[in-house]
Amino acid sequence: MSIDILMPALSPTMEEGTLAKWHVKKGDQVKSGDVIAEIETDKATMEVEAVDEGAVEELLVPEGAEGVKVNTPIARLSGEAVGSPPPPPAAAKAEAPPAPKEAPKRQAQTAAAPASQPASTPAKAPDGGRIFASPLARRIAAQKGIDLSALKGSGPHGRIVKADVETAQPGQPAPRPPAVQPAASQATAAAPRQVLSLEQQGIAAGSYDLIPLDGMRKTVARRMTESARDVPHFPLNIDLEIDTLLAARSKINALLEKDGVKVSVNDMVIKAAAVALKRVPEANASYTPEGIAMHHHADVAMAVAVPHGLITPIIFQAETKGLAQIARESKDLAERARERKLKPEEYLGGTFSVSNLGMFGIKSFSSIINEPQGAIMSVGVGEKRPVVRGDQIAIATVMTVTLTCDHRVVDGATGARFLAAFKALIEDPITMIV
C-alpha cells in the first residue's frame, strides 16, 4: 500500500508553497522524523519531516516547483511497514484544511505540456469557498499566472470561463478577504483592479528583465495594497532627543559586553514602545467588525529587510522583557529571517510594528500599517540637530519618529498620547525600568 505525502500547510494561512529542495530521491529509505524536503512559503523556508516509514517510490513534484497547493501529493512512499497508519500529511499541522476530494490528482502547476497536466481542481476563493471555473479557464489561468479568485466570471452563475481568463492580466491582486469573517457572509468581493501590461503603458517588451514573483513578494504586494487601500491611516510625527538614551545604551552595553550582547537603539525603541503601549493601551488595539480588540500584551513586530523582501518577526510580550533579552531575541530573529528560517509562529501575530530606516540616514518616513495592527512606528536617523532650549540654540542628537495610525481604532489624540508616553520613555530611559 503506497502512502502519498501531501504538501503540508506550514501555517494556517498557507495555501501554496514552493518545493525548494528535495532531501531524498527515488528509492531512498526514510523513517519517521527524517527531513525529506524543504518548502518555501510566502514567509519562510521550512523542513518537511516524514511521518511514515518506507521507501520513496516517486517524487511527484520536481524541485523548484512553485505554487504547489497545500494537500497536493508531493511524493509517494511504499508503506511496507505493518500496521502503518492511514496516509497523514507529512508534518502537517493540525489546522491544515482537509484535502479536497480531487486533490490526489493534482500536482505542481508548472508549465508542462498538457499531456502531463492534471485534471483541474477547485481553487479556493478568498473566503475559503469554491471558485467556480471551467477546467479550461483553470488551466489557462495556471499557464498565464492569473489568480482566479481575482476574476469575476461571465459564465452561468458567475462561473469563470475561458473568455474571462483570456482577457485578464497576470498578477491581478485578489480582492482582499475580510480581516475577520463577518457572521453573515456579506463579503462581496471588490471588483478586481484592471492592471495594464507594461507594454500597454508604453514600456517596450525586451527592455527589462522580469523577475518572477516569489511567495514573499506576492504576500507583501497583496497585504500592503490591501492595507494602503482599505485602512484609513494618518501619520503623526515627533522629534525625540536621544543623547540620554545613547549614554544609557553605552553604559548598558559596557555591562553586557562580557555576555556578548549588544543593545541597539532599535532594541530600546522596541522596549520603549512596548512600555508606552501598556501605558496607553488604546494604541495597542485592532479593529474588527465585531469590536475593538484590546491586546493584553505588547507583541512588537520588527521589520527586517531580507533579500528580495521583508518580514516582521515579533518580540512577544516585549513589555515584560529586559533590554538584554530583547537584544538577544532581535539579533537571532533578524539573522534567521535573512536565512528564511523563521517559523510561522515567529512572524504571525504582533500587535504593533517598528520599522527603522535610520541606518540609511532616512530622516523621517511613514510606513504602511501591518494589519490587523492599530499602528506602526517609523524610526528615522538619530543625528545632531540644533534645538532651542529656552531662548538658546543648542546641539542635541535628535531622532524623528512617525506613527501611522489606523483611524478606525487609534484616533489622533490617542496616537498623540502614545507618542508623548513614548517620548518620555526615550528621553528619560531610566523610566523604562520602572
Partner 1 sequence: MDFDVIIIGSGPGGYVTAIRAAQLGLKTAIVERAELGGVCLNWGCIPTKALLRSGDVYEQLGHLADYGLSADNRGYDFTKVIERSRKVAAQLNSGVAFLMKKHKIEVIEGTAKLEKGGPAPKVVVALKAGGSRTVQAKSVILATGARARTFPETGLVPDGERVWTYREALVPKTAPKSLIVIGSGAIGIEFASFYRALGSDVTVVEMLPRILPVEDEEVSNAAHKAFEKRGMKFRVPANVKKLSKSKTGVAVEIEVAGKAETLTGDVAIVAVGIVGNVEDLGLEALGVKVERTHVVTDGHGATGVPGLYAIGDVAGPPWLAHKASHEGVHCIEHIAGLKPDNLNAPIPGCTYSNPQIASVGLTEAQAKDQGHEPKVGRFPFRVNGKAIAAGETEGFVKTVFDGKTGALIGAHMIGAEVTEMIQGFALAMTLEATEAELQATVFPHPTMSEAMHEAALDAFGKVLHI
- Binding residues for partner 1, rule: CB under 8 A, are 105, 114-115, 117-120, 134-137, 139-140, 143, 154-156, 161-163
Q: What is the C-alpha separation between 141 and 129, in angstroms, rounded?
A: 18
Nearest to partner 1 of 137, 326 (CB atom): 137
Pairing of strands 2-6, 73-78: antiparallel
Q: How many residues does the chain have?
A: 434
Nearest to partner 1 of 31, 105 (CB atom): 105
Nearest to partner 1 of 17, 153 (CB atom): 153
Q: Which residue among 295, 296, 297, 407 is the active-site one? A: 407
Q: What is the C-alpha separation between 241 and 150, in angstroms, rounded?
A: 48
SS3 state of residue 273: helix
Least separation in angstroms between CB 122 and partner 1 = 13
| Cell of residue 55, nine digits | 521507501
297 is catalytic: no
Least separation in angstroms between CB 227 and partner 1 = 35
Least separation in angstroms between CB 130 and partner 1 = 16
Task: Compute CA distances 172 → 191, 215, 221, 225, whole Å.
Answer: 11, 15, 11, 11
What are the φ/ψ torsions at residue 90 (nearest 5 degrees)? -65, 125
Q: Are 30 and 67 in contact (CB under 8 A)?
A: no
Q: What is the C-alpha separation between 106 and 88, in angstroms, rounded?
A: 17
In Å, how far from its chain's centre is CA 346? 10
Q: What is the C-alpha separation between 123 and 68, in angstroms, rounded?
A: 12
Nearest to partner 1 of 133, 327 (CB atom): 133
Q: Are 410 and 236 in contact (CB under 8 A)?
A: no
Nearest to partner 1 of 159, 385 (CB atom): 159
Least separation in angstroms between CB 292 and partner 1 = 42
Least separation in angstroms between CB 66 and partner 1 = 20
What is the 3-class SS of 399-425, one letter each residue? EEEEEEEECCCCCHHHHHHHHHHHHHH
Q: What is the C-alpha separation between 130 and 168, in angstroms, rounded?
A: 20
Place of cell 501598556: 278
Least separation in angstroms between CB 105 and partner 1 = 7
Angle, helix 265-279 to helix 412-427, in steps of 10 degrees:
130
Computed over its alpha carbons, how large is the radius of gyration of the chain?
A: 25
Nearest to partner 1 of 154, 431 (CB atom): 154
Place of cell 523604562: 432
Nearest to partner 1 of 114, 386 (CB atom): 114
Q: What is the C-alpha separation between 59 and 26, in angstroms, rounded?
A: 7
Least separation in angstroms between CB 139 and partner 1 = 5
Pairing of strands 285-288, 291-294: antiparallel
Residues recognised as catalytic: 407
